[in-house]
């Protein structure tokens, strides 16, 4: 195991990592719901279990998992556009799956815009209030993470013990599909990992002279690029970590406990393996298309 992976494993107290399945098109089928050691302990605190804003331990020791090195020397900072699916541009990064990645977030009109924030399984942004993006306002629960009303594979999280065994968002609950049309959807956690592994990543503090920070991914296959702005996240009525942290929803339910969903997350010095965050949080969505 290389030093980059060793560094990431050292952050395991703050991040929940998942083993990716062989099939790129599906979510993980691993279901270890009887293992209490894998429970998140912050579900009702409205806090990300990766301690956003401090990268887990708040230290940059020079290790850069995922090639997310802190280097703003790229003079171009440009993004690639290969074509359009419907009204929305995409970039072909030469990934094994052939998946097309949108060049900007859902709710945005260009790469440097943050776009909208969505709770997992919701398709419209929540209105600003002191309780927005909390369990009290989340669509698929009865006011608490202990009582999910949809997307539940474990009876301990189902309302009155009921389960539906849905582990991947249906099209009607997919923010990309609902807002951009049937040709687009949210990526699975495995597809996010394919993106992370298929690119070399470089942090910028000033993308294309816009003053927006985030990660630039350059395809290892064809040299095309994609930009993910550090849009932060929303919870309990607040917006946090803008400018130095980004997290992007997948369509996959977290299997170890059902009040989380998988995200691709990053700071300036890494692109994270799949980690789980609470479903009620407002996160970014970057759409994909197989059309």
233, 247 in Cβ contact below 8 A?
Answer: yes
pLDDT in tens, the chain (291 residues): 444 444 333 333 333 333 333 334 457 544 333 333 333 333 333 334 443 333 333 333 332 333 333 333 343 456 789 999 999 999 999 999 999 999 999 999 999 999 999 999 999 999 999 999 999 999 999 998 889 999 999 988 887 778 999 999 999 999 999 999 999 999 999 999 999 999 999 999 999 999 999 999 999 999 999 999 999 999 999 999 999 999 999 999 998 889 999 999 999 888 876 678 999 999 999 999 998
Sequence spans of domains, the chain: 1-16+64-291
Q: Which residues on neighbouring strands pair with residue 240, listed in sequence order?
A: 233
**CA 189 from chain center: how many Å?**
8
pLDDT score recorded for residue 273 = 62
pLDDT score recorded for residue 222 = 97
- Structure pTM? 0.76
Q: Would you tell me how many other CB atoms lie within 10 Å of the CB of residue 175?
A: 29
pLDDT score recorded for residue 23 = 34
Q: Would you tell me how many other CB atoms lie within 10 Å of the CB of residue 126?
A: 21
- Tokens 């790469």 belong to which residue? 111
139, 87 in Cβ contact below 8 A?
Answer: no
Instruction: Return left, alpha or beta for 38; rule: phi > 0 is left, psi -120 to 50 is alpha, else beta.
Output: alpha
pLDDT score recorded for residue 70 = 36
pLDDT score recorded for residue 42 = 36
């Amino acid at each position: 195991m290389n030093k980059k992976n060793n560094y990431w494993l050292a952050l395991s107290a703050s991040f929940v990592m998942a083993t990716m399945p062989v099939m790129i098109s599906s979510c993980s089928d691993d279901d270890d719901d009887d293992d209490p050691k894998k429970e998140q302990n912050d579900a009702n605190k409205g806090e990300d279990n990766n301690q956003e804003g401090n990268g887990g331990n708040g230290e940059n020791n020079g290790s850069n998992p995922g090639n997310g090195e802190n280097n703003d020397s790229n003079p171009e900072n440009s993004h690639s556009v290969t074509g359009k699916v419907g009204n929305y541009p995409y970039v072909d990064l030469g990934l094994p799956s052939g998946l097309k990645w949108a060049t900007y977030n859902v709710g945005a009109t260009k790469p440097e815009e943050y776009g909208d924030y969505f709770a997992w399984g919701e398709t419209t942004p929540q209105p600003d209030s002191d309780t927005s993006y909390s369990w009290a306002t989340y669509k698929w629960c009865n006011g608490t993470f202990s009582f999910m009303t949809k997307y539940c594979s474990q009876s301990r999280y189902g309302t009155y013990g009921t389960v539906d065994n849905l582990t991947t968002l249906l099209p009607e609950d997919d923010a990309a599909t609902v807002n951009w049309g049937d040709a687009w959807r949210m990526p699975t956690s495995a597809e996010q990992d394919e993106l992370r592994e298929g690119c070399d990543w470089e942090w910028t503090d000033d993308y294309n002279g816009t003053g927006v920070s985030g990660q630039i991914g350059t395809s290892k296959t064809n040299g095309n690029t994609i930009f993910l702005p550090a849009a932060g996240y929303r919870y309990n009525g607040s917006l946090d970590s803008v400018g130095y942290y980004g997290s992007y929803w997948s369509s996959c339910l977290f299997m170890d406990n059902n009040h989380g969903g998988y995200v691709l997350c990053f700071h300036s010095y890494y692109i994270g393996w799949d980690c789980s965050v609470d479903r009620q949080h407002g996160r970014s969505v970057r759409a994909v298309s197989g059309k």
